[in-house]
Amino acid sequence: MRRIFHLSIPVADLMEARDFYRKYLGATIGRTGDDWTDILLWGHQITLQHRPNEVLPISEQGKRHFGVVLPWREWEALGAKLDSMGVDFLERPVVLHESTPEEQAKLYIQDPSHNVIEIKAYRDFAGVLGTQDANYGDVNGRTHR
């Protein structure tokens, strides 16, 4: 049985948030109520809650963010796509600790309600996160050992 992570986040404008996640990150729109919408993003469920009074400016959020770890080539493709679409990065795509066992790539963006999204990849997923799970790794399902 596959486990699906669920996250609920506040947004100022429900339609604008739905459009952002669909257009830029490829989310699928799921169930929708008067003041919420479920989206499926990277195999997980995020509920966008229309709660404008709970949306904080980025300067008041501290380290609050959510994210995903993608296979390396998928991260590269998404970073290039976001760049070509003119997305404003909070932190542009960067590779850190190159040529070491901890080599990783990351970028940060924000949705229209200032929810920060970290998207990263590990060159050696199994080594960094300590898993041998065959469901993780590159786009072909291989770990990078």
Sequential DSSP letters for 30-78: EEE-SSEEEEEETTEEEEEEE-GGG---GGG-TT--EEEE--HHHHHHH
* DSSP letters spanning 19-37: HHHHHHH-PEEEEE-SSEE
Domain at 63-145: CATH code: 3.10.180.10
Query: What type of residue sits at position 70?
Result: L
Is the pLDDT at 143 greater than 50? The verdict is no
pLDDT tens digit string along 28-68?
A: 999 999 999 999 999 999 999 999 999 999 999 889 999 99
User: Residues 93, 78: contact at Cβ < 8 Å?
Assistant: no
The CATH H-level superfamily of 1-52 is 2,3-Dihydroxybiphenyl 1,2-Dioxygenase, domain 1 (3.10.180.10)
Rounded to two decimals, the pTM is 0.86
What does the alpha-carbon distance between residue 114 and residue 110 come to, in Å, rounded to a whole number? Answer: 5
Q: Which of 2 and 6 is assigned the larger pLDDT?
A: 6
pLDDT of 139 = 45
Domains 1-52 and 63-145 share a fold: yes
Tokens of 35: 């003041």
Q: Where are the domains of the chain?
A: 1-52, 63-145
Tokens of 74: 């998928």
Is the pLDDT at 19 greater than 80? The verdict is yes
